[in-house]
């Protein structure tokens, strides 16, 4: 999170925290305009999201099943911050990574190039995280142990960890409200543990060339084409009701903002964890769990729906990346198109509300101090 509350977030000649910038996008459906395209292409806006969304929200990073044994460690980059969750003998432990080049509390200057890239170190805020680290790989004085834990892991900056059913969540805000307060009635609707009662599941990762917001909205449309926003839910969740999902079965879709999409169908639970890996790239960690083996037809339909969403989001990313620029002289940031997607309108209301929210900041360093004697 930023340590300079006196600095503004400016890009493309506008103040990204000016309410007037978002006024056209905050009306009712049929009158509201799309979110400013700057939100999908600006490094400064991504930093603003890091400050207002990623470091102040409950972020899903995986499942209990990812780290079944004591000592297993799950790394995850939250915004620009490399953290991990480890299973201890008395429960889950969340920490920032030890190695500063691994993300931690800041991103080194040499990495601030406006694009997240693969890193030769551990879990940099500009990299794609490695998979689960088994306990035996974190032995005494191994390179992995030194990068993530060090010799005194109890001294690492802590990260709050909670779980809901099989899913693991972290929150980088030390003053965060409990996870249950965020989920509200959605937790009762999901019944997560029942949906993952079986051991059969398909897990994989896939990356698409689109901002996380564009990929998320495209996934809602592709996984449940006829879905409409439901009345239930809360400010941190988009809930959709649909007659059928990608597999042809009745389903309910939940987007627990910002990064977890859940689709509860007949006999299966699909979870998709979204993780930005660049301004215009998003990694989707996909897991399809079922009471029995996942048949090849269902898996093929899922893959097709994901790729359709990825293609849609990538096309929109390319369009918005040039919208209002000299390469698109017929477009203007002062006259944005209407937002035609009801779920997308809910998403942009969430984003706007978060980036405009003012937080109490604790700044202990004096601006002026007498010279030391």
pLDDT in tens, 254-292: 999 999 999 988 778 899 999 998 889 999 999 998 877
* End residue of a domain, out of 175, 199, 218: 175
pLDDT at 373: 43
Of 33-37, 297-301, 333-337, the poorest mean pLDDT is in 297-301
- Tokens (6 digits) for 140: 């005494």
**Nearest alpha-carbon partner for 321 in 39, 22, 16:** 39
Does residue 211 share a domain with residue 135?
Answer: no
User: What mean pLDDT do residues 169-190 have?
Assistant: 83
Predicted pLDDT at 325: 93
Q: What is the pLDDT of residue 312?
A: 98
- Return the pLDDT at 140: 84
135 and 147 in a single domain? The answer is: yes
- Which residues, at least 6 apart from 343, have a Cβ–Cβ distance to it below 8 Å? 217, 220, 221, 227, 229, 238, 240, 255
321-331: burial string, b at 16+ Cβ within 10 Å, e else: bebbeeeeeeb
CATH number of the domain enclosing 341: 3.90.380.10
**Three-class secondary structure assignment of the chain:** CCCCCCCCCEECCEECCCHHHHHHHCCCCCCCECCCHHHHCCHHHHHHHHHHCHHHCCEEEEEHHHCCCCCCEEEEEECCEEEEEEEECCEEEEEECCCHHHCCCCCCHHHCCCCCCCCCCCCCCCCCCCCCECHHHHCCCCHHHHHHCCCCHHHCCEEEEEEECCEEEEECCCCCCCHHHHHCCHHHHHCHHHHCCCCCEEEEEEEECCCHHHHHHHHHHHHCCCCEECCCCCCCEEEEEECCCCCCCCEEEEEECCCEEEEEECCEEEEEEEEEEECCEEEEEEEEEECCCCCHHHHHHHHHHHHHHHHHHHHHHHHHHHCCCCCCCCCCCCCCCECCCHHHHHHHHHHHHHHHCCCCCCCCCCCCCCCCC
Is it the case that residue 365 has pLDDT exceeding 70?
no
- Structural domain that includes position 152: 59-175
Last residue of a domain, one of 175, 192, 220: 175
Long-range contacts of 245-253 (CB under 8 A, 24+ apart): 246/222, 246/301, 246/302, 246/304, 246/305, 247/298, 247/301, 247/302, 248/301, 251/224, 252/189, 253/220, 253/223, 253/224, 253/227
List the CATH number of the domain containing 143.
2.102.10
Q: Residue 363's pLDDT band (boundaries 50, 70, 90)? A: low
More confident residue, 192 or 185: 185
125-155: pLDDT as tens digits: 455 688 899 999 988 888 788 888 989 999 9
Contacts of 326 (CB under 8 A, 6+ apart): none
218 with 324, same domain: the answer is yes
Average pLDDT for the chain: 84
Most confident of 136-145, 156-165, 230-239: 156-165
Highest mean pLDDT among 46-50, 179-183, 197-201: 46-50
Express each pLDDT in 241-256 by its tens digit. 876 788 887 888 899 9
pLDDT grade for 227, boundaries at 50, 70 and 90:
confident
Give yes or no: residues 218 and 266 share one domain.
Answer: yes
Query: d(Cα 283, Cα 278) in Å, to the nearest integer?
Result: 9
**Percent of the chain whose predicted confidence (pLDDT) is above 90:** 56
Asked whether residue 364 is domain-assigned, the answer is no
Contacts of 95 (CB under 8 A, 6+ apart): 83, 84, 86, 149, 153, 156, 157, 158, 159
Write out the two tokens for 336.
């944005």
Residues 37 and 102 in one domain: no
Which residue did the predictor score with more confidence, 140 or 221? 221
The pLDDT of residue 10 is above 90: yes
Same domain for 171 and 284?
A: no
When mean pLDDT is compared across 76-85, 196-205, 256-265, 307-316, the lowest value belongs to 196-205
Residue 109 has a pLDDT of 44
> Among the three residues 131, 148, 175, which one is the final residue of a domain in this structure?
175
Closest among 364, 333, 263 to 18, alpha carbons compared: 333
89-124 pLDDT, tens digit per residue, is 999 999 998 875 543 344 444 444 445 544 555 444
Shared domain check, 79 and 42: no
Strand partners, 14: 11
Q: Are 194 and 300 members of one domain?
A: yes
Average pLDDT rounded to a whole number, residues 50-74: 95
């Amino acid at each position: 999170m930023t340590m300079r509350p006196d600095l503004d977030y400016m890009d493309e000649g506008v103040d990204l925290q000016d309410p007037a910038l978002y006024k056209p996008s905050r009306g009712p459906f049929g009158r509201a305009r799309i979110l400013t395209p700057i939100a999908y292409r600006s490094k400064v806006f991504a930093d603003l999201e890091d400050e207002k969304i990623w470091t102040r929200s409950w972020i899903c990073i995986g499942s209990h099943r990812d780290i079944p044994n004591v000592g297993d460690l799950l790394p995850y980059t939250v915004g620009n911050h490399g953290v991990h969750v480890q299973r201890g003998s008395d429960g889950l432990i969340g920490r920032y990574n030890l190695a500063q080049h691994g993300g931690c509390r800041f991103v080194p200057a040499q990495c601030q190039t406006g694009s997240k890239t693969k890193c030769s170190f551990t879990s940099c805020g500009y990299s794609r995280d490695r998979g689960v680290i088994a306990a035996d790989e974190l032995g005494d004085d191994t390179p992995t142990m030194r990068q993530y834990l060090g010799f005194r892991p109890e001294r690492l900056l802590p990260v709050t960890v909670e779980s809901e059913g099989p899913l693991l969540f972290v929150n980088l805000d030390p003053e965060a409200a409990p996870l249950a307060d965020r989920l509200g009635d959605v937790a009762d609707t999901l019944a997560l543990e029942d949906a993952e009662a079986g051991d059969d599941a398909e897990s994989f990762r896939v990356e698409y060339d689109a901002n996380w917001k564009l990929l998320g909205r495209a996934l809602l449309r592709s996984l449940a084409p006829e879905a409409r926003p439901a009345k239930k839910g809360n400010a941190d969740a988009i809930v959709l009701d649909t007659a059928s999902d990608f597999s042809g079965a009745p389903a309910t879709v939940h987007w627990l903002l910002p990064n977890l999409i859940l689709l509860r169908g007949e006999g299966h639970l699909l979870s998709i964890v979204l993780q930005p890996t660049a301004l215009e790239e998003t990694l989707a960690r996909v897991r399809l769990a079922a009471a029995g083996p996942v048949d090849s037809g269902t898996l093929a339909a899922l893959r097709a729906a994901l790729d359709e969403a990825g293609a849609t989001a990538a096309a929109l990313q390319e369009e918005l990346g040039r919208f209002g620029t000299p390469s698109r002289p017929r477009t203007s940031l002062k006259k944005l198109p209407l937002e035609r997607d009801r779920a997308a309108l809910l998403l942009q209301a969430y984003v706007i509300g978060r980036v405009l929210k003012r937080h109490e900041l604790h700044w202990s360093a004096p601006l002026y101090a007498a010279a030391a004697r």
